[in-house]
Amino acid sequence: MWRNEGRGPLYRLYIQRLRRQMPTTVPHHVAMMIDGNRRWARQLGFDSAAHGHRAGAAKMHEFLRWCDDLGIRVVSLYLLSNDNLRKRDPRELEDLIDIIAELARELSHEPDWRVQHVGRSEELPPALAEVLHEVTERTRSHTGLHVNLAVGYGGRSEIVDAVRSIIAKHDERGGTLEELAASLTPEQIGEHLYTGGQADPDLVIRTSGEQRLSDFLLWQSAHSEFYFVEALGPDLREVDFLRAIRDFAARDRRFGQ
């Protein structure tokens, strides 16, 4: 069992106070970079990182419920990058793949949640790719919380794939390179991203105190606000989340103006 500090009566009273202070306007789209699972497992003396990844997955399910309760409409979770697939220890990666598949199945059974895989399916183990495809298709018509699962994901790869898709469609129509160059726009690239049709994230949260993007939603986060939490992934508390939302609401978003 993972740590559960600060959950006594005073904590609950503070949570209630924060909820009452929540702004009427909350982010439409929140992106979460769950980080620190392996460090969490080491600090507690576990002999396998899988304990941290399981605790982190459970925390992400809890985090999504917090978002849903607050009225946030879209949440993107960064679960497994392209770099992870190439560089992680094979045994740890095998455990992590099983944990992600289990989490995807669990989320797809939440009432009216829509679960969508974003990433390169062809680079994933076939069993995991099949699970992600199945939950994406089964929940496609749902209209509740939209959950993007970034698995086998890389922001640079996403932009490359978007441009390739634009070029392929332009070629099918018989257009010239000159015409393509003249017509290419940021909006056109955005439409061909894995998240095409969705609003960009308003707020990007990262746990564990690290302050970097790690190739996550590079294009979409151009005008996002960022909030970094010191807590390791499994130790994230609702109070940390509510503080992030309160901090976001107090910022002056200028979008380059």
Instruction: Report the catalytic residues.
Output: 35, 84
Angle between helices 238-249 and 9-20 (to 10 degrees): 20
**Hey, CA dihedral for 18, 204, 146, 53, is it positive or negative?**
negative
Q: Which helix (DSSP H) or strand (DSSP E) does residue 18 occupy?
A: helix 9-20
Neighbours of 74 (CB within 10 A): 22
Instruction: Copy the structure tokens of residue 237.
Output: 């508390």
Q: By C-alpha distance, which of 77, 170, 57, 59 is closest to 119?
A: 77
Burial class, 59, CB count within 10 angstroms (exposed 0-12 / middle 13-18 / buried 19+): buried
Neighbours of 212 (CB within 10 A): 11
Q: Which helix (DSSP H) or strand (DSSP E) does residue 80 occupy?
A: strand 74-81
